[in-house]
Structure 1
Amino acid sequence: MKPFTENVVEIIRSIPAGKVATYGQIAGLAGSPRAARQVVRVLHSMSWKYHLPWHRVINAKGQIALLDDESYHEQRLSLEAEGVEIGLNGVIDLGKFQWKPSLHLK
Structure 2
Amino acid sequence: MAPTADSAERILAAVRAIPPGEVAGYGEVARRAGLPGRARWVARLLAASDDPALPWHRVLRSDGRIAFAAGSDSWREQARRLQAEGVKVVEGRVRLVQRGRSLDAVVWGPA
Q: When the two structures are superposed, what TM-score results if normalisation uses the length of structure 2? A: 0.79
Hey, what does 1:83 align to over in structure 2?
86
Query: Bigger radius of gyration, 1 or 2?
Result: 2
Count how many residue pairs are aligned between Structure 1 and Structure 2. Answer: 99
Hey, what does 1:74 align to over in structure 2?
77
Q: More relative contact order in 1 or in 2 (CA 8 Å, sep 6+)? A: 1
Hey, what does 2:67 align to over in structure 1?
65
In structure 1, the gaps of 5 or more residues are none
In structure 2, the gaps of 5 or more residues are none
Equivalent of 1:25, from 15, 25, 28?
28
Q: When the two structures are superposed, what TM-score results if normalisation uses the length of structure 1? A: 0.82
Cα deviation code 1:74-95 (max 9, x no counterpart): 00011001000012x4321112
Identity of aligned residues (%): 37
RMSD (Å), alpha carbons: 2.3
Hey, what does 1:95 align to over in structure 2?
97
